[in-house]
Amino acid sequence: VIILARESGLRLELSDIPVESLVPEALKSCSSPNEFMQKLPSFDQDWARQRHEAEAAGEVLRYVGAVDVLNGKGRVELQRYKRDHPFAQLSGSDNIIAFTTSRYKEQPLIVRGPGAGAEVTAGGVFCDILRLASYLGAPS
């Protein structure tokens, strides 16, 4: 969301973008991964309820980000989409972007393709770390 917002000309920082966490509030204070994993199953019923409510309405749950260029805002949140919506048809690490503009108002322009995946993302992060180390004066 921050990348798309900035590429669209918005001057937003991460702190400007509300993010609905998928981690229940009660788990945020866990002191260890083991404690987190032990308490996590107690929230399964809530997630199952949300999923079943969406399914009963012919919808699916998707965690999406949105950039509103006109109002200079971005957000990330859990949303419900009808099964025939392009966002509902993603699988695996696919990415999708819907552009709603004055020309694509009734039917947004959809760009869909494979996401980078864990290996490519890790390689990119490692490359960024090496570039930063070089910038800070580390020997090459």
The per-residue pLDDT for range 74-103, each reduced to its tens digit, is 999 999 999 999 999 988 888 899 999 889
Domains of the chain, start order: 1-84 (3.30.360.10)
What is the tens place of the pLDDT at every residue in 115-125?
A: 877 788 888 88
Between 47 and 119, the more confident residue is: 47
User: In the predicted model, what is the mean pLDDT of the chain?
Assistant: 92
Residue 94's SS3 state is: strand
